[in-house]
């Protein structure tokens, strides 16, 4: 495949309501779209980084720079022999920057699959037509507001609730949701690294609430801390930020640092590495689920395809478009009895809406090959 152009396009989508996590609050999603053009095809992807390096070290301005000055030239040098499978080896000399690499690999994979008429789900090995949808619920100003939000999501049909937690917003919201909605609701929490191992006794107070898991309670580089914590609490430990590769996944499982993994293709450098994490976890009997980064329909489509693989046994943060956006960049993903449908068209299987794209674009630039 010979790439002719890579367009980098910054877009800004207002959120339907502010989303607060232990690392901050956002009221709009600024995203970086990667649009690859080849002689006979095109491909779209979305870089999952945020404007500020708060979830991880990557951030949008940095992604644009590293794509333009360090990654795209390496793809250019690969010439016509380039395939999606060869993107990661071509970029391996550049350390880190996985979200930027993932966006390039995904856009090129989309172009490649559109040419061959294969869907993302078909290529990755999805075995489900519909995937169960969970929803991530931000930190709120009051328990009443939280309960109203959770009630709304349950009424819409979401099959699993994830509460964002931090010190001072953990036991009370979990207790309130359990008391109001009962023991049958699939419930989990995500701390986004807000605790330390010294909080183990406090986190053990979540034990009676029968949570599916606690996600990333400790710092991303604290693998041994998670292993120790897992022996001190009954809630299963799930890792998100700590897992950047299949090798990390194997190490974490072997160390006992987690018994469940949140797979985010963006965090781990793309869908090919995400599938390797799926496979290594499956080989260890460790279930996985698909995380989310407030993707537009472009990133959401590919995530939903990945979530169709057989070891994605827990509902993901694969929510409907309306969870975040009144107007998505594609036809919206909608809940069907609590599930999202895996697209079946070529590539990611969704089309960008040109008028919406135009209206939401902040800037764009081309990298000519």
| Residue 21 is a binding residue for ligand NPQ (CB under 6 A) | yes
From candidates 7, 16, 26, 166, binder to ligand NPQ by CB under 6 A: 26
Q: Which is nearer to ligand NPQ, 19 or 312 (CB)?
A: 19
Q: How far is the CB of 262 from Mg ion (least distance, A)?
A: 6
CB 348 within 8 A of CB 298: yes
Candidate ranges 18-26, 72-80, 83-91, 202-210; the one touching ligand NPQ (CB under 6 A): 18-26
CB 101 within 8 A of CB 34: no
H or E stretch including 145?
A: helix 143-156
| Residue 292 is a binding residue for ligand NPQ (CB under 6 A) | yes
Q: Specify the 3-state DSSP secondary structure of 161.
A: strand
Taking CB atoms, the residue at the shortest distance from ligand NPQ is 136
Active site residue 264: yes
Nearest CA-CA partner of 107 in 165, 55, 159, 41: 41
Question: Which one of ligand NPQ, Mg ion, none interacts with residue 303, CB within 5 to 8 A by kind?
Answer: none
From candidates 19, 120, 158, 289, binder to ligand NPQ by CB under 6 A: 19
Question: Would you tell me how many other CB atoms lie within 10 Å of the CB of residue 134?
Answer: 26
From candidates 46, 50, 220, 248, binder to ligand NPQ by CB under 6 A: 50
The two three-digit tokens of residue 35, written as one number: 């649009």
From candidates 58, 240, 248, 295, binder to Mg ion by CB under 5 A: 240
- Using CB under 6 A, which residues numbered 126 to 155 contact ligand NPQ? 136
Q: Which is nearer to ligand NPQ, 22 or 38 (CB)?
A: 22
Nearest CA-CA partner of 301 in 332, 264, 275: 332
Candidate ranges 67-75, 103-111, 242-250, 286-294; the one touching ligand NPQ (CB under 6 A): 286-294
Q: How far apart are CA 158 and CA 9, in angstroms?
A: 32
* Strands across the sheet containing 361-368: 42-47, 24-38, 3-21, 361-368
Q: Which of 2, 95, 162, 264 is catalytic?
A: 264
Between strands 214-215 and 187-190, the pairing is parallel
Burial 241-276 (b: 16+ CB within 10 A, else e): bbbbbbebbbebbeebbbbbbbbbbbbbbbbbbbbb
CB 235 within 8 A of CB 214: yes
- Using CB under 6 A, which residues numbered 305 to 324 contact ligand NPQ? 317
| Residue 294 is a binding residue for ligand NPQ (CB under 6 A) | yes
Q: Specify the 3-state DSSP secondary structure of 77.
A: helix
Question: Which one of Mg ion, ligand NPQ, none interacts with residue 136, CB within 5 to 8 A by kind?
Answer: ligand NPQ
Question: Which one of ligand NPQ, Mg ion, none interacts with residue 340, CB within 5 to 8 A by kind?
Answer: none
Residues at the contact surface with Mg ion, assessed by CB under 5 A:
190, 215, 240
Residues carrying an active site annotation: 164, 264
Q: Which residues bind ligand NPQ (CB under 6 A)?
A: 19, 21, 26, 29, 50, 55, 136, 190, 192, 240, 291-294, 317
């Amino acid at each position: 495949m010979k790439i002719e152009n890579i367009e980098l396009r910054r877009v800004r989508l207002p959120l339907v309501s502010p989303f607060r996590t232990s690392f901050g609050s956002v009221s709009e999603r600024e995203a970086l779209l990667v649009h690859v053009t080849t002689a006979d095809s095109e491909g779209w992807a979305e870089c999952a980084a945020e404007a500020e390096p708060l979830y991880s070290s990557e951030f949008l301005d940095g992604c644009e720079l590293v794509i333009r000055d360090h990654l795209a030239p390496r793809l250019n040098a690969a010439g016509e022999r380039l395939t999606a499978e060869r993107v990661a080896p071509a970029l391996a000399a550049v350390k880190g920057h996985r979200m930027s690499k993932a966006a390039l690999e995904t856009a090129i994979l989309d172009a490649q699959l559109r040419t061959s008429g294969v869907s993302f789900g078909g290529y990755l090995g999805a075995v489900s037509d519909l995937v169960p949808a969970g929803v991530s619920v931000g930190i709120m100003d009051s328990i009443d507001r939280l309960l109203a939000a959770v009630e709304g999501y349950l009424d819409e049909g979401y099959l699993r609730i994830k509460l964002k937690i931090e010190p001072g917003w953990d036991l009370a919201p979990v207790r309130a949701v359990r008391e109001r909605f009962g023991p049958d609701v699939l419930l989990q929490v995500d701390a986004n690294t807000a605790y330390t191992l010294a909080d183990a006794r406090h986190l053990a107070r979540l034990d009676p609430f029968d949570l599916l898991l606690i996600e990333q309670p400790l710092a991303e580089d604290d693998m041994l801390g998670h292993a120790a914590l897992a022996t001190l609490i009954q809630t299963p430990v799930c890792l998100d930020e700590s897992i950047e590769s299949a090798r990390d996944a194997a190490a974490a499982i072997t160390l006992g640092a987690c018994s469940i993994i949140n797979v985010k293709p963006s965090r781990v450098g793309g869908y090919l590495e995400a599938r390797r994490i799926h496979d290594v976890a499956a080989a260890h009997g460790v279930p996985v689920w698909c995380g989310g980064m407030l993707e537009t329909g472009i990133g959401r489509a590919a995530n939903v395809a990945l979530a169709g693989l057989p070891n994605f046994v827990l509902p993901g943060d694969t929510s409907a478009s309306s969870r975040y956006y009144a107007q998505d960049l594609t036809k919206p993903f909608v809940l069907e009895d609590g599930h999202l449908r895996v697209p079946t068209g070529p590539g990611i299987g969704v089309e960008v809406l040109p008028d919406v794209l135009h209206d939401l674009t902040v800037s764009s630039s081309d990298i000519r090959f």
